[in-house]
Structure 1
């Protein structure tokens, strides 16, 4: 089965860098994470980056905003 979502190469690393710098997870960032999770070809490094972002949000180190 092919993936319905095609990620831009480097999108996860850019997202990770942006959120790490601002400590804010926007609605657009969350959609990016959702799209990445639907992609079955994520590398282990990309999966770890997403997990770190989600753990940061759960622990309150990253602010989740509605914008």
Structure 2
């Protein structure tokens, strides 16, 4: 049985704002993105924002840290 994962409303926008402000993607941000990828009902705007964040990480524009802080 696969556990139900439910994304907190507005989470992707909050993660995007935090990453834009700090230039880092925290462990808690990554868990939020994981929840977003598992959410079949994620709207197109949030899906594009999540993809934009992941591309920024791949390009080295965003640093991935193991910090658990929440913005």
CA deviation profile, 1:11-48 (whole Å, cap 9, x unmatched): 11111111111110011111110011101110110010
SS of alignment partner, residue 42 of structure 1: coil
C-alpha separation in 2, matches of 1:30 and 1:7: 12
> Which residue of 2 is the match for residue 26 of structure 1?
26
What's the CA shift for 1:7?
Answer: 1.4
After superposition, the CA RMSD in angstroms is: 1.2
Runs of 4+, deviation exceeding 2 Å:
none
State the TM-score, normalizing by the size of structure 2: 0.85
The structure that is helix-richer by fraction is 1
Unaligned runs of 5+ in 1: none
What's the CA shift for 1:60?
Answer: 0.6
Number of aligned residue pairs: 65
State the TM-score, normalizing by the size of structure 1: 0.89
> Which residue of 1 is the match for residue 11 of structure 2?
11
